[in-house]
Amino acid sequence: MRGFIPINWAEIGTLSFLVWVSVLPIPKLRFHRYQKSMLTIKIIPVLEDNYIYLIHDPVSKQTAAVDPAEAQPVLDVLAENGWQLTYVLNTHHHWDHTNGNLLLKQKTGCQIIAPSAEQHKIPGVDRAISDHETLALGAHTATVMAIPGHTLGHIAYYFGDDGLLFCGDTLFVMGCGRLFEGTAEQMWTSLQKLSDLPDDTLVYCTHEYSQANGLFAQRIEPDNQQLKEKMQRIKQLRKQNLPTVPSTIAEERATNPFLRVDQVSVQTSLNQLQQDPVTVFAELRKRKDTFFQ
Ligand SMILES: [Zn+2]
User: 18 in a domain, yes or no?
Assistant: no
**By CB neighbour count within 10 A (0-12 exposed, 13-18 middle, 19+ buried), where does 148 fall?**
buried
pLDDT digits (tens, 9 = 90+) for 37-87: 399 999 999 999 999 999 999 999 999 999 999 999 999 999 999 999 999
Ligand 1 centroid to Cα of residue 29, in Å, is: 57
Task: Assess if residue 103 is contained within a domain.
Answer: yes
pLDDT over threshold 70, residue 124? yes
Query: In this structure, is residue 8 part of a structural domain?
Result: no
Q: Would you please indicate which residues are annotated as catalytic (active-site) residues? A: 92, 94, 96-97, 150, 169, 207
CA of 10 from ligand 1 middle (Å) equals 27
**CA 249–ligand 1 middle distance (angstroms):** 21
User: What's the gap between Cα 60 and its chain centre?
Assistant: 22
- Separation of 179 CA from ligand 1 center, angstroms? 10
In a domain, 12, yes or no: no
Q: Does residue 140 form part of some domain? A: yes
SS3 269: helix
Residue 291 has pLDDT above 60, yes or no: yes
- Ligand 1 centroid to Cα of residue 222, in Å, is 29
Q: Is residue 267 part of a domain?
A: yes
- Radius of gyration of the CA atoms of the chain, in A: 20
Name the CA dihedral angle for 191, 196, 197, 200, rounded to a multiple of 10 degrees: 100
- What mean pLDDT do residues 144-161 have? 97
In-domain check, residue 119: yes
Chain-wide mean pLDDT for the chain? 90
* Strands 87-89, 63-66: pairing kind: parallel
Domain of residue 189: give its range: 38-289
Q: What is the pLDDT of residue 293?
A: 61
**pTM, rounded to two decimals:** 0.87
- Does residue 6 lie in a domain region? no
Ligand 1 center to 13 CA (angstroms): 32
* CA 240 distance to own-chain centroid: 21
**Residue 221's domain is classified under what CATH number?**
3.60.15.10
How many structural domains compose the chain?
Answer: 1
* pLDDT band at residue 29 using 50, 70 and 90 as cut-offs: very low
Instruction: Please tell me the distance from the alpha carbon of residue 162 to that of residue 42, in angstroms, as a whole number.
Output: 15
Report whether pLDDT(242) > 60: yes
Statement: residue 142 has pLDDT above 90: yes
Q: Which residues pair with 202 in a beta bridge?
A: 164, 248
| C-beta separation of 252 from 193 below 8 A | no
- The CA distance from 280 to 258, in Å, is 9
